[in-house]
Structure 1
Amino acid sequence: MQVLSKRSEFLAAARARRQGSKGMMVQGRNRHDAEDIRVGFTCSKKVGNAVARNRAKRRLREVARIVLASHGKPGWDYVLIGRATQTAARPFDQLQTDLIQALKKIHGK
């Protein structure tokens, strides 16, 4: 699994499919040209100060590491966006369920 780092990659994912859940927003884009899964993480200042944003991103990274290995599709880019007060406070098993459900809806379209 590779990490998205360029702004253009995030913008391309933003123009693709998206699915909101209580714990996060997930954007997914099929690249059609590669075999690897790429993922990016972002949290706006609405999530809180730097400590709160970093905590939310750490939780999103761990959820992605666990879930995308089994539910992600090769050749797709995913962007996980943290939500204010929900991403950091939501129980970890519910965050996993949120991501699985969002991935099913993104792939099902």
Structure 2
Amino acid sequence: MTASAAPVEARSSLDHLDLKQPSPESASTESNRSIEVIRKRADFLAANRGKRFVTPNFVLLAHRRRSDHPVSAATIRRGITVTKKIGNAVARNRMKRRFRALLAETLPGDGMSGVDHVMIGRKANKEADFAAMKAELEKGLKYLAKKLA
């Protein structure tokens, strides 16, 4: 009972999107300030010397970059750290995805230019509600803005 496969036209699920044109909401935020990802260990270590805001679900670090830093002073940078203490790879990756989504929603409005923002995951008994984590992040960004001013 072997059935031969019928030829199927290959198509992408993203054909209906025009990926070359930025969306209107992202164009307005990126024209003012760009958001980059921290990739170097030295930058994470420098952020660890900055101010911190601790919640049950994460620690938020903020560190103002030196004036001679190669990254522009108008740029906001973000980093995410989740250690193996959190759990297996599935749990760590889920936490990182949630952190990326949180930062993408809040940094354009509440982030500080010339500052590195780092979120460090903390092990909690149960996973927090996304809206509650967003409220904590906004509160933390406002708190750190006062501390770095």
> How far did 1:23 drift?
2.0
Q: How many residues are paired up?
A: 108
Return the TM-score normalized by structure 2: 0.69
In 1: Cα distance, 2:66 partner to 2:41 partner? 20
Superposition RMSD in Å: 1.3
Structure 1 partner of 2:127: 89
1:59 corresponds in structure 2 to: 98
Deviations 1:15-68, CA, capped at 9 Å, x for gaps = 111110122100001125311000000111111011100100000000000001
Tell me the distance in 1 between the aligned counterparts of 2:54 and 2:133. Answer: 12
Between the aligned partners of 2:108 and 2:53, the Cα distance in structure 1 is: 19
Unpaired segments ≥5 residues, structure 1: none
Any gaps of 5 or more consecutive residues in structure 2? 1-34, 68-72
Q: Which amino acid aligns with 2:140?
A: A
Q: Point out the structure with max Rg over C-alpha.
A: 2
Greater helix share, 1 or 2? 1
SS at match of 1:74: coil
Higher relative contact order (CA 8 A, sep 6+): 1
Cα distance in structure 2, aligned partners of 1:94 and 1:11: 28
1:26 to 60, 66, 74: 60
SS in 1 for 2:42: helix
Richer in strand (by share): 1
Using structure 1 for the length normalisation, give the TM-score. 0.93
- Verify: 1:13 aligned to 2:47, yes or no: yes
Stretches of 4+ aligned residues off by more than 6 angstroms: none
Name the aligned partner's letter for residue 94 of structure 1. Answer: A
Q: % of aligned pairs identical?
A: 39
Deviations 1:66-89 (A, max 9, x none): 001100011110100111136x71
Counterpart contact for 1:23–1:98, Cα < 8 Å? no
Quick one: which of 33, 37, 46 aligns to 2:76? Answer: 37
The answer as to whether partners of 1:29 and 1:77 remain within 8 angstroms in 2 is yes
Q: What amino acid is aligned across from residue 37 of structure 1 in structure 2?
A: I
